[in-house]
Amino acid sequence: MSDKGILDQAKGKAKEIIGDLTGDDKKKAEGQVEQLEGKAKGAMENLSQEAREKALMAQEAANKALEKAKSRFKDDK
């Protein structure tokens, strides 16, 4: 999870607690929203990392297939 996502979750939790202690429903709700935003940022970062890894794997597989095809083409000549 990104540092920004974790920081947003911590700030949101603090706001939620302050809102709860002071009876400020708006502050409490803002804190809950901020926590969700932090979780979403973390999830997006994880998905982005997974996508990069999958793209690299696909590129490697395509390069291997290309080399194999070139090798077969040379052998057929």
The predicted structure's pLDDT at residue 76: 67
How many H helices and E strands in the chain?
Answer: 2, 0
What does each of the 77 residues of the chain score in pLDDT, given as a tens digit? 567 789 999 999 999 999 999 999 999 999 999 999 999 998 888 888 899 999 999 999 999 999 989 888 887 66
**Residue among 67, 70, 71 at smallest CA distance from 59:** 67
- The model's pTM is 0.64
Q: How far is CA 22 from the centre of its chain?
A: 34
